[in-house]
Amino acid sequence: MLGPSGQAAAVNADREKSTRAFALIEEALRGARIDRSEILCIAVGLGPGSYTGIRVAISIAQGWQLARNVKLLGLSSAHVLAESARGDGMKGRGTCVIDAQRKEFYVATCDLGANPAHIIETLHLETTQQVAERATRGETLFGPEEKLHGNHIVFPDAMVLARLAAGRTDFLRGEQLEPIYLRETSFVKAPPARAPSAA
Complete domains list, the chain, with CATH: 17-77+156-176 (3.30.420.40), 78-153 (3.30.420.200)
Range with the poorest average pLDDT among 10-19, 86-95, 137-146: 10-19
Range with the poorest average pLDDT among 1-5, 71-75, 116-120, 155-159: 1-5
What pairs with residue 74 in β-bridges?
A: 44
Expressed in angstroms, the distance from the first to the final Cα of the chain is 66
- Between the CA of residue 143 and those of 49, 97, 169, what are the distances in Å? 12, 5, 27
Give the C-alpha separation, 139 to 150, whole Å.
9
Which pTM was predicted? 0.81
Range with the poorest average pLDDT among 47-51, 126-130, 189-193: 189-193
- Spatial neighbors of 11 by CB under 8 A, at least 6 apart, are 24, 27, 28, 31
